[in-house]
Structure 1
Amino acid sequence: MNNQQKPYDNIPGTTVFDGDMARIGFHLNQFCMSLMQESNRVAFKQNERAYLDQWPMTEAQKTAVLERNFSQLIALGGNIYYLVKISSTDGLSVAAAVSTMTDLSVDEYIDMMRRGGRSPEGNRFTDQGESKPSEESLWQK
């Protein structure tokens, strides 16, 4: 992984999916893409752990999949466009999956997005004089 400082490293609450993250999450994202085939979805739902063990993912990635911890999956190199294959396999909408990364219900999350999304207050670069926001401020109603 590239250990150089990146100009976007100081955006609070944000994981940028760049080349380094793509490398970290390669097998995780490949697993997600496998769920596009019905036979793979069936195999995954029959024995999730056994299906995951076929992929050279880290134990942390496998645990996050089993727990459906989408915030952790993003931190471990998952790309949201691939990760929604997991929620779709579970019969959940994208809004339902993404709402799990907030303290909002699905309806509250949809309402927030219809009103323009989360507030930019407290979510700017930390070198612009703002302190790191609390988790609650990241998803203000």
Structure 2
Amino acid sequence: MNITATLIGQTLAFAVFVWTCWKFIWPVLISAMRERQKTIADGLEAAEKAQRDLEHAEARVEEHLNGARTEARQIVEQARSQAAEMVEEAKTVAQAERERILEAAQADIEQEMNRAREALRGRVAELAIAGASRIVEGDLDRSRHDALLNKLAAEL
């Protein structure tokens, strides 16, 4: 065999191989590569979109947290002010109750003092009448006068 014929045969075989690859294999490879390229591009785009969505979601969460913190501060402040108002109201009610109890006690004391005075006046009047009747019954000398005064003082 001749080298030229072999070389021509190999060249023809290679040309048929290239043409067959170009006609049947190359479109499938290009199609698979384009499909893979599209899949990768779609994946990257989806990842970017997911990243943007995540950033937006984080921003919304932060806004909600700030709103919740503000609302919580307002609720706590409102509770504190209500507690202070309740304490002040309780103090006012307690002060009024104290005043009422003091006035009632003062009135009771005054009433008891008046009763004691009336009882004392009655007793003094009885003793004065008794002393006067003893004086009228007899003549008093100094010793009898002192004895009568001591007896009246003991009865008081």
TM-score range, shorter chain: under 0.3
Q: Which has the higher contact order (CA 8 A, sep 6+)?
A: 1
| TM-score, scaled relative to structure 1 | 0.22
| TM-score, scaled relative to structure 2 | 0.20
Greater helix proportion: 2
